[in-house]
């Protein structure tokens, strides 16, 4: 409660939750002694989707190779402390409270958004571990994101780019998104993940034409494939590796992992054994994560409980593709925030799930109510059920056997599920 009260207080330093500018970030960093210039080994990740998966898989590989890592991600699922990993250890709530109080004192009467304060706080604390590899995930876009404060980095991981957060852009097209994600990338090394189609990849390549970085494209400079006998083959100019099955569900995760492997081999020259071990130990919650124990799992009997925080159309298509590979009936339970493409998200599932149940995400002011959500789905030819709570939605599926109960639509929803379980 102390931490949440502190966050609520920090929110008052800048009433606009989103205000695209780097001025406040650089002002606060200057007051903190410009710690961003003191971190020796920085890696950043941007993109619409896949950032968390790329960061987590790269960290796991580097850990196996003997490197210590600092990791900054957002949003969190259960606690703000999840966003702050230093030397591979999550910060304690007590230390985070002390850190944020110190940063707030330095900020004084100046303005900064909560995300800007959190980002600057992470960088300041990481100064104590400046010899570790600092991996930072961008928040909203890249061009004016607070993480875009470094003069140099080892590399950038550029993930899947799709349509999301359009309300903050003047150019509400894929070209506008690509510009925001790539216009200010540092000149170093850029590893570009698999995209929805060749057209988008070509647009990214064109957008980066004046960036002097070494650029490595999925499908061109590195590749990954799974054969009919389930062998996983990774290949780049350094040679081929036969990989074990990673501990993440979904064939799309192979694409994300391949981007991290490319960076690990090119930048750090890690050994094949480190890669093989690393991809079986990836620590990533809320992305096609199977819940195997706990209160909610007990409610569904012989069914599987899967949770995924996907919240845009690119994510729903990816989840739908995974569902098609399963030999079980899937029942979708969905809750979303108000500012998402609700109809388009649900439309991805209309012909491949047995039922769709809508719920209101608890404890989230920006969540869409289940009733309003249903009203937005007019024209989708599938029966829509409503449920009063997460627990009730699960209980309503308890009579099924050998099915998959899948929660999706928001990382905030997934956080509430993990808290309940």
Same domain, 71 and 121: yes
Structure tokens at 190: 């850029």
Q: What's the pLDDT score for residue 179?
A: 85
229 assigned to some structural domain:
yes
Bond before 375 cis per omega within 30 degrees:
no
140 assigned to some structural domain:
yes
pTM of the entire predicted model:
0.93
The count of domains in the chain is 2
Mean pLDDT along residues 165-194: 80
Domain containing 156 equals 2-278
Q: What's the pLDDT tens digit per position in 373-399?
A: 999 998 788 889 999 999 999 998 888
Of the ranges 13-22, 92-101, 147-156, 385-394, which one carries the lowest mean pLDDT score?
A: 13-22
Contacts of 72 (CB under 8 A, 6+ apart): 83, 84, 85, 119, 122, 126, 134, 135, 136, 137, 147
Same domain, 150 and 207: yes
Same domain, 344 and 247: no
CATH number of the domain enclosing 377:
3.90.190.20
Contacts of 25 (CB under 8 A, 6+ apart): 112, 116, 119, 120, 146, 149
Mean pLDDT along residues 254-264: 98
Q: What percent of the chain has pLDDT over 90?
A: 81
CA-to-CA separations, 281 to 51, 59, 365, in angstroms, rounded: 17, 10, 35
Q: What's the pLDDT score for residue 172?
A: 61
| More confident of the two residues 171 and 99 | 99
Mean pLDDT along residues 336-345: 92
Q: What is the radius of gyration, based on Cα positions, of the chain?
A: 21
Q: What's the pLDDT score for residue 142?
A: 59
Mean pLDDT along residues 361-365: 91
Mean pLDDT along residues 197-208: 94
Mean pLDDT along residues 164-173: 55
């Amino acid at each position: 409660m102390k931490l949440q009260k502190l966050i609520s207080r920090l929110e008052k330093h800048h009433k606009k939750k989103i205000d695209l500018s780097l001025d406040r970030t650089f002002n606060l960093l200057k007051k903190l002694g410009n710690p961003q210039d003191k971190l020796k080994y920085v890696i950043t990740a941007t993109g619409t989707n896949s950032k968390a998966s790329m960061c987590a898989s790269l960290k796991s590989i580097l850990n196996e190779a003997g490197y210590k890592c600092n990791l900054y991600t957002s949003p969190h699922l259960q606690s703000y402390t999840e966003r702050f990993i230093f030397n591979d250890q999550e910060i304690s709530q007590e230390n985070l409270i002390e850190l944020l109080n110190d940063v707030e004192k330095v900020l004084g009467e100046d303005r900064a958004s909560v995300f800007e304060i959190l980002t600057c706080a992470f960088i300041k604390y990481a100064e104590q571990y400046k010899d570790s590899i600092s991996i930072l995930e961008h928040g909203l876009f890249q061009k004016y994101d607070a993480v875009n404060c470094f003069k140099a980095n080892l590399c950038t991981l550029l993930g899947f780019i799709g349509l999301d957060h359009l309300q903050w852009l003047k150019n509400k097209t894929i070209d506008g998104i690509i510009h925001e994600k790539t216009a200010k990338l540092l000149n170093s090394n850029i590893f570009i993940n698999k995209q929805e189609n060749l057209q988008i990849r070509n647009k990214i390549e064109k957008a980066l034409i004046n960036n002097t970085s070494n650029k490595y494209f999925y499908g061109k400079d590195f590749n990954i494939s799974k054969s009919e006998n389930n062998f996983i083959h990774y290949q780049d100019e350094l040679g081929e590796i036969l990989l074990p099955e990673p501990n993440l569900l979904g064939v799309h995760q192979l694409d994300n992992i391949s981007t991290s492997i490319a960076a690990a081999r090119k930048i750090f020259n890690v050994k094949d054994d480190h890669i093989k071990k690393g991809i079986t130990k990836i620590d990533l919650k809320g992305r096609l994560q199977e819940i195997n124990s706990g209160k909610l799992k007990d409610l569904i009997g012989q069914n599987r409980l899967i949770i995924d925080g996907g919240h845009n159309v690119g994510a729903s298509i990816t989840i739908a593709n995974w569902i098609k590979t399963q030999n079980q009936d899937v029942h979708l339970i969905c809750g979303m925030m108000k500012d998402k493409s609700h109809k388009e998200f649900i439309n991805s599932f209309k012909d491949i799930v047995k039922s769709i149940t809508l719920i209101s995400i608890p404890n989230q002011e920006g969540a869409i109510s289940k009733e309003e959500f249903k009203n937005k789905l007019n024209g989708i030819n599938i029966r829509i059920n409503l449920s009063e709570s997460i627990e009730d939605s699960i209980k309503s599926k308890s009579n099924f056997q050998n099915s998959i109960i899948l929660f999706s639509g928001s990382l905030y929803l997934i956080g509430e599920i993990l808290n309940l379980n």
